[in-house]
Chains A and B, each alone.
Chain A
């Protein structure tokens, strides 16, 4: 969505080399420019974009060929607007009512720098996170997991996952002290409505 107007976008079910080339060309310069501004202003790393250090090419190299790690890209206006890496063999459910059952774990999800208010004053497109969350839920359903998903959230993204109806299971000391969120089939159904 751009300026409250819906635009057509394409959800691609695999991050390919061409997408990584676009990310290298478009995303990195935008993040570096913002980092320089923040450093010049004397801001500490706590104020930097929370995923500034992510390198999608390295992430894709680590999972290349693994069927347990589906990936997605959102394309719009010739640009990559968002990327996501899932893992369906990494974690099990923690919520009591579904403890031990399989889920789709969201390893990484990121919107393009120009869509993020922490990097630009007027984000270009909204809805990338919601589309990716919907894709993770659909992947879960396709695998027979009934929409069960889980993830560890970077701090500034926590309100988004809470608003999306996921259960907040609090800080996970075993995972960089990030908050863990999980979705049940009922929550997934409510999100999909």
Chain B
């Protein structure tokens, strides 16, 4: 069952949401649902002791993403 809620966003947050919505061909709701799940996934993996890296495809250089 789905629940409905009201969300208050700043102008900057709304712009970011609209840009992602356009780029990803998703509704704003769909973007936010995906963002929430990704946030949860990151949180769970970090709590398990994992680390998150971005790897440069060309140089294979890795940079750790620090989540505070």
Q: Please list the residues of chain A having a beta carbon within 8 angstroms of any beta carbon in chain B.
A: 65-68, 88-89, 101-102, 143-146
Taken together as a complex, chains A and B put the C-alpha atoms of A88 and B26 apart, in Å, by 13
* Of A65, A101, A144, A145, the contact of B44 (CB 8 Å cutoff): A65
Set of chain A residues within 8 Å of B40, measured between Cβ atoms: 66-68
B24 touches A143 (CB 8 A): no
B33 CB within 8 Å of chain A: yes
A and B contact pairs by CB, cutoff 8 A, 15 listed: A65-B44, A66-B37, A66-B41, A67-B36, A68-B38, A89-B38, A101-B25, A102-B24, A143-B33, A143-B34, A144-B26, A144-B27, A144-B29, A144-B30, A145-B30
* Residue in chain A with minimal CB distance to B21: A144
Set of chain A residues within 8 Å of B25, measured between Cβ atoms: 101, 146
B30 touches A68 (CB 8 A): no
- Distance in angstroms from B14 CB to nearest chain A CB is 18
Interface residues on B, range: 10 to 19
Set of chain B residues within 8 Å of A66, measured between Cβ atoms: 37, 40-41, 44
Set of chain A residues within 8 Å of B30, measured between Cβ atoms: 143-145
- Distance in angstroms from B4 CB to nearest chain A CB is 15
- Distance in angstroms from A83 CB to nearest chain B CB is 21
A68 touches B41 (CB 8 A): yes
Taken together as a complex, chains A and B put the C-alpha atoms of A185 and B11 apart, in Å, by 33
- Distance in angstroms from A100 CB to nearest chain B CB is 8
* Residue in chain A with minimal CB distance to B40: A67
Which residues of chain B in 1-35 are interfacial with respect to chain A, using CB atoms and an 8 Å cutoff? Answer: 24-27, 29-30, 33-34
Taken together as a complex, chains A and B put the C-alpha atoms of A88 and B33 apart, in Å, by 10
- Distance in angstroms from A145 CB to nearest chain B CB is 8
Taken together as a complex, chains A and B put the C-alpha atoms of A89 and B24 apart, in Å, by 13
Taken together as a complex, chains A and B put the C-alpha atoms of A67 and B38 apart, in Å, by 9
